[in-house]
């Protein structure tokens, strides 16, 4: 069965004795079977240093168990008690400008501080000893949305140690940093400070290493927490809740330490860019599934609205079910919300919840949540199945994003995530299964690999992409390919650097950046299109031109190319991604590579309609999703039976914001 429920903070209601019983009753009414407990409960669990009080949690977990609920138990390190910050100020964060923060907020802690690590380890071990074998507890939720960075002396020293082990000698670091530029040569590791506005901000490789270090240190902190909860029991899976595309942490480095990936999804449903947000949400579902290539948890989502966007729109009727089934379509084994009951005070008191301040089930949101829970029970046989294997992959690379976005060149505003997403969106509109993987990943199972703005190519990326094409893969690269190595040193001898030059058979000599409203005309496949963003001026070095610029001084130069290399082919797109060209071009490549679509008319679906498949032991499941506010007509493959209505049909009308789920042949 699917896990259904969400964040639960009963400690806020401890004095209101009747609430716990009321919650359990309402949870049954909402078809809730799982809660995430204890995310911010540290001051409740350890009210004074070393004095633990588990009485309330004992009772709560027992009663949850008695009423058939599962518990995902959190470690409370996302926010610390006041006494700790007062006694050990080092646990708090220091800002880049040197200001040490006072107690307040959450996530305000130093991941290096030995005291903080010791205090976290102690409470985690207490929790593990007490609850790891409780029959209600099914998983550990490590901390909460790891994020942020600290510039205290402890972190600075740890950064220096990190650099020393990365480079070995200061000479090697100087070469990697090209530090003769502006006379920045270091004499010793002790001179190195974290980069920042008030200090060093002109050594790109230093900035890159700092970001690597922040990920390294956060992962290290997480590993200590994992070791602590595993001390008393090794059977419980561990997860931590991540955020869609959080810039500051390279999530791909977290995956190997976790048993289950989980993430928090708050797209702007019903905002003016609603359909784009649906694709955004789909992209991150695919990203998080791809981290371990298997089922994951949707750990948080909004049951109705949030309180932190510029405009906090209500989710329209049906959107609750639609968002839940989108998660399941992409391979989630859970639909969990933030939050069960709205808090009475605090900064999130007006954040949507399943139970609002009225305290009843007689609300629109509660009814929708309950109907979704009931639908997930009906669809229970899908739980445990896998998503259909993807034959297309899009590359995603944090270090590349940090390097390219930080590079002072082309346009200052280079949004890597948006660029990758616009390619993804073109696939999403054509109902094609897609993985999102790191450029070092094993690419052999994919027929088509898409490299968007892969500016940074280290040796491993270069070799991996080269051998992928050599062995018969189709690789398409769009923009800025192979310009720098892992230290953001430019590749010499022409772009793309190294063997990629031979793979693509092109040389990219210059890049013309366009002002936002500027367009350059081009022709591809006999049709006229417009390029925006930037135009790269390519020379053919063996490749064949498929498209040409039609305006500007570079009219007549190639802008879409293909080159046979080994047993495969490498395509290049020299101008900004997105729009009609992207859909047409990727559609053409999907057909070239004979990629299977999830629906018969996949390449001409109405706006906002897409589909996904999961494969079970003896059946496949087809999800037909309509994110638009209009009813849409879709043709189905033969032999599909609607799992809820039990009807079978060839032409389907999908209601606005609805997802229909079919059992069909494998
Ligand atoms: C995040 C946090 C939650 C809560 C929600 C609100 O995902 O993990 O604690 O603050 O946002 O949307
Ligand atoms: Zn610190």
State the ligand closest to the CA atom of 39. 1
456 contacts 397 by C-beta, under 8 angstroms: yes
pLDDT digits (tens, 9 = 90+) for 13-52: 999 999 999 999 999 999 999 999 999 999 999 999 999 9
pLDDT value of position 580:
95
State the ligand closest to the CA atom of 90. 2
Per-residue pLDDT at 412 exceeds 90: no
Minimum CA distance residue for ligand 1 atom 12 = 306
CA of 338 to the centre of ligand 1 (A): 7
Would you identify the CATH topology of the domain 3-149+236-384?
TIM Barrel (3.20.20)
Task: Tell me the CB-side half-sphere exposure of residue 211, using CA atoms within 13 A.
Answer: 22
Residue of 288, 300, 309 with the most ligand 1 atoms within 8 Å of its CB, for mutation? 300
**Residue 264 in contact with ligand 1 by CB distance below 6 A:** yes
**Residue 457 in contact with ligand 1 by CB distance below 6 A:** no
Q: Identical fold at 3-149+236-384 and 392-592?
A: no
pLDDT digits (tens, 9 = 90+) for 241-288: 999 989 999 999 999 999 999 999 999 999 999 999 999 999 999 999
pLDDT value of position 296:
98
pLDDT digits (tens, 9 = 90+) for 327-366: 999 999 999 999 999 999 999 999 999 999 999 999 999 9
Residue of 347, 348, 352 with the most ligand 1 atoms within 8 Å of its CB, for mutation? 348
Per-residue pLDDT at 368 exceeds 90: yes
For residue 203, what pLDDT band results from cuts at 50, 70 and 90? very high
For residue 233, what pLDDT band results from cuts at 50, 70 and 90? confident
Q: Which helix (H) or strand (E) holds 352?
A: none
66 in helix, strand or coil? helix
Closest CA to 565 of 479, 496, 495, 474: 474
Closest CA to 214 of 331, 89, 93: 93
Look at the block and give the residue holding tokens 């190595």.
Answer: 485
Tokens of 168: 């070995």
Nearest atom in ligand 1 to the alpha carbon of residue 266 is 12
pLDDT value of position 480:
98
CA of 217 to the centre of ligand 2 (A): 10
pTM for the structure as a whole: 0.98
Per-residue pLDDT at 57 exceeds 90: yes
Average model confidence (pLDDT) across the chain: 97
pLDDT value of position 493:
97
For residue 593, what pLDDT band results from cuts at 50, 70 and 90? very high
**Residue 391 in contact with ligand 1 by CB distance below 6 A:** no
Minimum CA distance residue for ligand 1 atom 5 = 338
Sketch the domain layout of the chain as residue ranges: 3-149+236-384, 392-592, 602-664
Pick the CATH number of 602-664 from 2.60.40.770, 3.40.50.300, 3.10.580.10, 2.60.40.1180: 2.60.40.1180
State the ligand closest to the CA atom of 89. 2
402 contacts 415 by C-beta, under 8 angstroms: no
pLDDT digits (tens, 9 = 90+) for 278-323: 999 999 999 999 999 999 999 999 999 999 999 999 999 999 999 9
pLDDT value of position 665:
87
**Residue 141 in contact with ligand 1 by CB distance below 6 A:** no
**Residue 368 in contact with ligand 1 by CB distance below 6 A:** no
Residue of 145, 299, 304, 313 with the most ligand 1 atoms within 8 Å of its CB, for mutation? 145
Percent of the chain with pLDDT over 70: 100
Percent of the chain with pLDDT over 90: 98
Strand partners, 623: 612, 661
Minimum CA distance residue for ligand 1 atom 10 = 348
Q: What is the mean pLDDT of residues 535-542?
A: 98
Residue of 8, 309, 338, 350 with the most ligand 1 atoms within 8 Å of its CB, for mutation? 338
**Residue 265 in contact with ligand 1 by CB distance below 6 A:** no
Q: What is the C-alpha to C-alpha distance for residues 663 and 619, in angstroms, rounded to an integer?
A: 6
Q: Read off the DSSP letter of residue 608.
A: T
H-helix segments, 92-137? 114-131
Sequential DSSP letters for 424-473: HHHHHTTT--EEEE-TTS--TT-SEEEEES--B--HHHHHHHHHHHHTT-
pLDDT value of position 447:
98
Instruction: Tell me the angle at which helices 55-66 and 19-29 cross, rounded to the nearest 10 degrees.
Output: 30
Give the CA distances from residue 179 to residues 87, 188, 192, 195, in Å, rounded to whole numbers and listed in that order: 41, 13, 12, 14
**Residue 281 in contact with ligand 1 by CB distance below 6 A:** no
CA of 262 to the centre of ligand 2 (A): 26
528 contacts 514 by C-beta, under 8 angstroms: no
**Residue 304 in contact with ligand 1 by CB distance below 6 A:** no
pLDDT digits (tens, 9 = 90+) for 471-524: 999 999 999 999 999 999 999 999 999 999 999 999 999 999 999 999 999 999
Pick the CATH number of 392-592 from 3.40.50.880, 2.40.40.20, 3.40.140.10, 3.40.640.10: 3.40.50.880
436 contacts 393 by C-beta, under 8 angstroms: yes
Q: What is the C-alpha to C-alpha distance for residues 596 and 145, in angstroms, rounded to an integer?
A: 36
Q: What is the C-alpha to C-alpha distance for residues 260 and 545, in angstroms, rounded to an integer?
A: 45
**Residue 504 in contact with ligand 1 by CB distance below 6 A:** no
Minimum CA distance residue for ligand 1 atom 7 = 264
**Residue 338 in contact with ligand 1 by CB distance below 6 A:** yes
Strand partners, 262: 241, 297
pLDDT value of position 190:
98
Just list the catalytic residues. 145, 300
CA of 243 to the centre of ligand 2 (A): 22
Q: What is the C-alpha to C-alpha distance for residues 234 and 240, in angstroms, rounded to an integer?
A: 16
CA of 112 to the centre of ligand 2 (A): 5
């Amino acid at each position: 069965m699917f896990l259904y429920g969400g964040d639960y903070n009963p400690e806020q209601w401890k004095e209101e004795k009747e609430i716990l019983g009321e919650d359990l009753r309402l949870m049954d009414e909402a078809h809730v079977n799982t809660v995430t407990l204890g995310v911010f409960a540290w001051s409740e669990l350890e009210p004074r240093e070393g004095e633990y009080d588990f009485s309330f949690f004992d009772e709560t977990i027992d009663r949850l168990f008695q009423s058939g609920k599962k518990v995902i138990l959190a470690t409370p390190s996302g926010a610390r008690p006041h006494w700790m910050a007062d006694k050990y100020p080092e646990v708090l964060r220091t800002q880049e400008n040197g200001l040490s923060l006072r107690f307040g907020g959450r996530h305000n802690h130093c991941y290096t501080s030995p005291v903080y690590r010791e205090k976290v380890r102690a409470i985690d071990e207490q929790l593990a000893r007490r609850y790891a074998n409780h029959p209600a507890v099914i998983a550990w939720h490590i901390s909460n949305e790891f994020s942020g960075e600290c510039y205290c002396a402890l972190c600075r020293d740890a950064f220096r140690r990190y650099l020393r082990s990365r480079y070995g000698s200061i000479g090697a670091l100087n070469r990697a940093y090209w530090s003769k530029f502006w006379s920045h040569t270091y004499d010793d590791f002790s001179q190195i400070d974290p980069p920042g506005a008030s200090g060093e901000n002109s050594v790109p490789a230093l900035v890159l290493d700092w970001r690597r270090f922040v990920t390294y240190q956060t992962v290290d902190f997480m590993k200590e927490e994992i070791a602590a909860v595993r001390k008393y029991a090794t059977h419980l899976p561990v997860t931590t809740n991540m955020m869609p595309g959080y810039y500051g942490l390279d999530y791909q480095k977290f995956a190997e330490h976790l048993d289950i990936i989980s993430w928090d999804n708050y797209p702007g449903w019903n905002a003016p860019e609603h359909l784009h947000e649906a694709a955004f949400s789909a992209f991150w579902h695919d990203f998080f599934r791809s981290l371990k290539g298997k089922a994951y948890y949707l750990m948080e989502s909004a049951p109705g609205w949030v309180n932190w966007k510029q405009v906090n729109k209500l989710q329209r009727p049906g959107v609750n079910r639609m968002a839940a089934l989108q998660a399941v379509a992409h391979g989630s084994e859970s639909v969990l919300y933030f939050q069960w009951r709205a808090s009475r005070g605090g900064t999130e008191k007006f954040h949507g919840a399943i139970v609002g301040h009225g305290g009843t089930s007689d609300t629109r949101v509660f009814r929708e949540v309950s109907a979704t829970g009931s639908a997930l029970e009906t669809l229970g046989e899908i739980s445990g199945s896998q998503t259909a294997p993807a034959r297309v992959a899009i590359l995603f690379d944090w270090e590349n994003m940090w390097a390219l976005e930080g590079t002072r060149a082309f346009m200052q505003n280079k949004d890597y995530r948006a660029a990758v997403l616009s390619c993804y969106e073109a696939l999403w509109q054509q109902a094609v299964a897609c993985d999102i993987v790191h450029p070092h990943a094993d690419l052999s199972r994919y027929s088509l690999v898409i490299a968007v703005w892969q500016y940074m190519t280290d040796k491993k990326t270069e070799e991996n992409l080269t051998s992928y094409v050599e062995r018969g893969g189709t690789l398409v690269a769009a923009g800025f390919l192979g310009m720098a190595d892992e230290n953001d040193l430019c590749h010499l001898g022409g772009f793309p650097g190294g063997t990629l030059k031979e793979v693509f058979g092109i040389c990219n000599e210059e890049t013309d950046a366009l002002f936002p409203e500027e367009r350059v005309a081009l022709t591809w496949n006999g049709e006229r299109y417009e390029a925006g963003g930037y135009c790269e001026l390519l020379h053919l070095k063996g490749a064949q031109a498929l498209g040409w610029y039609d305006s500007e001084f570079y009219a007549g130069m190639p802008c879409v190319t293909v080159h046979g290399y080994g047993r495969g082919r490498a395509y290049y797109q020299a101008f900004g991604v997105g729009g009609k060209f992207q859909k047409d071009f990727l559609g053409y490549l999907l057909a070239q590579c004979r990629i299977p679509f999830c629906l018969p008319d996949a390449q001409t679906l109405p706006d906002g309609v897409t589909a996904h498949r999961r494969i079970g032991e003896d059946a496949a499941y087809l999800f037909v999703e309509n994110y638009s506010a209009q009813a849409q007509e879709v043709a189905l493959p033969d032999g599909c039976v609607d799992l809820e209505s039990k009807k079978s049909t060839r032409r389907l009308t999908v209601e606005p914001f609805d997802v229909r789920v079919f059992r069909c042949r494998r």
